[in-house]
């Protein structure tokens, strides 16, 4: 057996290493490139790029709203699911595991359609809300697995120490285990955030006017397909890069203690 | 310090306790009484069930048969608030188990402020006094990762004491330490014994046992083989297995 453990992590998010101190790293290159590209197009070809850019902000706001609300929902669902998966109660455990199994087996787009039309038919839930629910349910299952793994990574001695001081199970989880597990959980959860942000573009298929849908509306009216989608790609790139930066700043803030 | 002829009630009473891990009998019909102020040292080869016995006292290990009564509470009863009983039982582990995301001071104040609603300032004052007692007050604001093993174990003892327990349980507190750090931890434990703390200690430190134990307990294969004073143990061991065990480690 070799002593070195090679860890390969495949992520859907960005793989930029922010500890890279070089002036020219992948993140800076992509970010500056995207900004300069956008500036060039808007400045030198205001028609149609400036028109696209003026048409999109409403959609940007919707994309942010869907992303933020879905992240919140997915975190809560993920925590509940993760706790359910490690529960000693067999019924709770089975419910949580089945949820993960079912959700992981259905494409997000199908889930979106399903929840959108199912909720729309029986409950008259607003479009945006049903999109958020669908995204949360889907990503909650993935995050549940991340939470479970994070909680299980904490040494059993921590639980024993907390319990022997007199803390009950919930206090032990929320005061001792989760604050430590969060450090293990944050990097993969951050990647899920980024993947989620990108996947919000799927809600444009429903009647939710996010960035992509606004773009489609503009393009189908003006026939500037190439120009519109160029700009939209650049906009997604910029906000994704910004989010990945935020996540890495959070990771740095969490490393104030050693294990 | 031999047993006094006064009638006292035991603070820990275990009777006919058995614990199985599958086919393995970790505890086999064990009975033990610990009186207030008594120092009990449990010795025995590894796998003899001494840690399991200790952990059965605060129900970190649930037993299959028998009675465990601590401070008047039947530990095995569903009606017993185990968390309340555990607050009276300080526990020190072989692997320290300090909370790495909290400073040394916070490790000490967390349980009293949360569980006994002690005001923060008061808890901190008491924590600093305890840290002074284990001679590590200068590390109050440091995270546990920055401490040596001996320092960590002293903090762990102080953390358990911060709850003002009636009994202290020690599960091989020096076994994970480098040899040069064992002394500083044993010193703290000897001082604690001198102050009259009720202690149950699982250890391989025979010098410590000789110095502080009122009662020695020798376990093997899940059973208590022999009990007695340190003098009886080290000078007049009766059971051949105990004689053999002492020959091997002394």
Please list every residue in chain B whose beta carbon sits closer than 8 Å to the beta carbon of residue A160. 60, 91, 93, 97
End-to-end CA distance of chain A: 26
- Domain range enclosing A144: 59-258
pLDDT at A143: 94
Domain count, chain A: 1
Pairing of strands B198-202, B39-43: parallel
pLDDT tens for residues B13-25?
999 999 999 888 9
Instruction: Give the confidence band of B250 by pLDDT, cuts at 50, 70, 90.
Output: confident
pLDDT tens for residues A143-178?
999 999 999 999 999 999 999 999 999 999 999 999
Let me know if residue A42 belongs to a domain: no
pLDDT at A2: 42
Let me know if residue A20 belongs to a domain: no
**Is A258 in Cβ contact with B146 (below 8 Å)?**
yes
Q: Nearest-CA residue of chain B relative to A157?
A: B97
pTM listed for this prediction: 0.85
In the predicted model, what is the mean pLDDT of residues A229-241? 94
Let me know if residue A225 belongs to a domain: yes
Percent of chain A exceeding pLDDT 90 equals: 65
pLDDT tens for residues B52-82?
999 999 999 999 999 999 999 999 999 999 9
- Picking from A165, A176, A257, the nearest residue to B145 by CB comes out as A257
Q: Return d(Cα B227, Cα B213) in angstroms, integer.
A: 11
The CATH code of the domain that includes A141 is 1.10.3720.10
Let me know if residue A231 belongs to a domain: yes
Cβ–Cβ under 8 Å, residues B104 and B136: yes
In 3D, which of B43, B46, B65 has the Cα closest to residue B56? Answer: B65
Name the least confident of A2-11, B87-96, B111-120. A2-11
Q: Is the pLDDT of residue A9 over 60?
A: no
Q: Is the pLDDT of residue A7 over 60?
A: no
- Picking from A163, A171, A257, the nearest residue to B114 by CB comes out as A171
Q: Return d(Cα B37, Cα B46) in angstroms, integer.
A: 27
Let me know if residue A146 belongs to a domain: yes
Cβ–Cβ under 8 Å, residues A188 and A146: yes
Would you call A171 an interface residue with chain B, using a CB distance cutoff of 8 Å?
yes
Let me know if residue A238 belongs to a domain: yes
pLDDT at A257: 72
Let me know if residue A78 belongs to a domain: yes
B38: alpha, beta or left? (left if phi > 0; alpha if psi -120 to 50): beta
Please list every residue in chain A whose beta carbon sits closer than 8 Å to the beta carbon of residue B60. 160, 163-164
Sign of CA dihedral A29, A190, A151, A179: positive
**Is B84 in Cβ contact with A164 (below 8 Å)?**
no
**Is A258 in Cβ contact with B143 (below 8 Å)?**
yes
In the predicted model, what is the mean pLDDT of residues A58-83? 95
- Picking from A157, A165, A257, the nearest residue to B86 by CB comes out as A165
Burial B141-164 (b: 16+ CB within 10 A, else e): ebbbeebebbbbbbbbbbbbbbbe
Name the least confident of A79-83, A252-256, B124-128. A252-256
pLDDT tens for residues A96-153?
999 999 999 999 999 999 988 887 778 778 888 989 999 999 999 999 999 999 999 9
> Of how many residues is chain B composed?
250
* ipTM of the complex as predicted: 0.92
Percent of chain A exceeding pLDDT 70 equals: 90
Pairs of CB atoms within 8 A across A/B: 64
Question: What is residue B199's three-state secondary structure?
Answer: strand
In the predicted model, what is the mean pLDDT of residues B88-108? 96
In the numeric block, which tokens belong to residue A186?
């944050």
Let me know if residue A248 belongs to a domain: yes
pLDDT tens for residues B119-173?
999 999 999 999 999 999 999 999 999 999 999 999 999 999 999 999 999 999 9
Percent of chain B exceeding pLDDT 90 equals: 93
pLDDT at A46: 87
pLDDT tens for residues B189-237?
999 999 999 999 999 999 999 999 999 999 999 999 999 999 999 999 9
**Helices A57-85 and A127-152, packing angle to 10 deg:** 40
pLDDT mean across residues, chain B: 94
In degrees rounded to 5, what are phi and psi of residue B88?
Answer: -90, -5
């Amino acid at each position: 057996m070799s002593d070195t453990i090679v860890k390969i992590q495949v992520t859907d998010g960005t793989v930029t290493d922010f500890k890279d101190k070089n002036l020219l790293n992948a993140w800076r290159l992509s970010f500056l490139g995207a900004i300069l590209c956008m500036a060039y197009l808007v400045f030198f070809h205001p028609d149609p790029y400036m028109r696209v850019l003026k048409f999109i902000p409403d959609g940007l706001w919707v994309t942010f709203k869907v992303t933020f609300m879905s992240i919140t929902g997915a975190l809560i669902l993920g925590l509940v699911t993760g706790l359910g998966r490690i529960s000693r109660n067999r019924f709770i455990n089975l419910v949580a595991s089945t949820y993960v199994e079912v959700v992981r087996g259905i494409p997000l787009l199908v889930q979106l359609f399903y929840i959108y039309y199912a909720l729309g038919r029986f409950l008259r839930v607003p479009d945006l809300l049903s999109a958020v629910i669908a995204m949360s349910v889907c990503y909650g299952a993935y995050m549940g697995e991340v939470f479970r793994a994070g909680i299980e990574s904490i040494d059993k001695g921590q639980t024993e120490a907390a319990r022997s001081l007199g803390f009950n199970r919930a206090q032990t989880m929320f005061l001792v285990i989760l604050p430590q597990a969060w450090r293990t959980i944050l990097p993969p959860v951050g990647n899920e955030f980024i993947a989620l942000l990108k996947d919000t573009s799927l809600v444009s298929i429903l009647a939710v006017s996010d960035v992509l849908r606004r773009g489609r509306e503009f393009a189908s009216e003006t026939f500037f397909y190439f120009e519109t989608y160029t700009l939209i790609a650049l906009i997604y790139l910029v906000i994704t890069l910004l989010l990945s930066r935020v996540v890495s700043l959070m990771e740095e803030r969490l490393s104030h203690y050693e294990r | 310090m031999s047993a006094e002829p006064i009638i006292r009630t035991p603070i820990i009473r275990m009777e006919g306790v058995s614990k199985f891990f599958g086919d393995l009998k970790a505890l086999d019909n064990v009975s033990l009484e610990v009186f207030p102020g008594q120092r009990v040292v449990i010795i025995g080869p590894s796998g003899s069930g001494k840690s399991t016995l200790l952990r059965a006292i605060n129900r970190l290990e649930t037993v299959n048969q028998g009675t465990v009564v601590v401070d008047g509470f039947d530990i095995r009863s569903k009606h017993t608030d185990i968390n309340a009983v555990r607050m009276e039982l300080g526990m020190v582990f072989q692997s320290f188990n300090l909370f790495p995301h909290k400073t040394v001071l916070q490790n000490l104040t967390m349980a009293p402020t949360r569980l006994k609603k002690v005001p923060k300032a008061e808890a901190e004052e008491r924590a600093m006094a305890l840290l002074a007692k284990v001679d590590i007050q200068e590390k109050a604001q440091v995270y546990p990762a920055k401490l040596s093993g001996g320092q960590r174990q002293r903090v762990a003892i102080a953390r358990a004491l911060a709850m003002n327990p009636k009994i202290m349980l020690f599960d091989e507190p020096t076994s994970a330490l480098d040899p040069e750090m064992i002394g500083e931890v044993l010193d703290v434990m000897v001082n604690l014994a001198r102050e009259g703390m009720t202690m149950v200690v699982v250890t391989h430190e025979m010098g410590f046992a000789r110095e502080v134990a009122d009662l020695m307990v020798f376990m093997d294969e899940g059973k208590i083989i022999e009990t007695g004073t340190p003098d009886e143990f080290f000078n007049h061991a009766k059971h051949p297995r105990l004689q053999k065990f002492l020959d091997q480690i002394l």
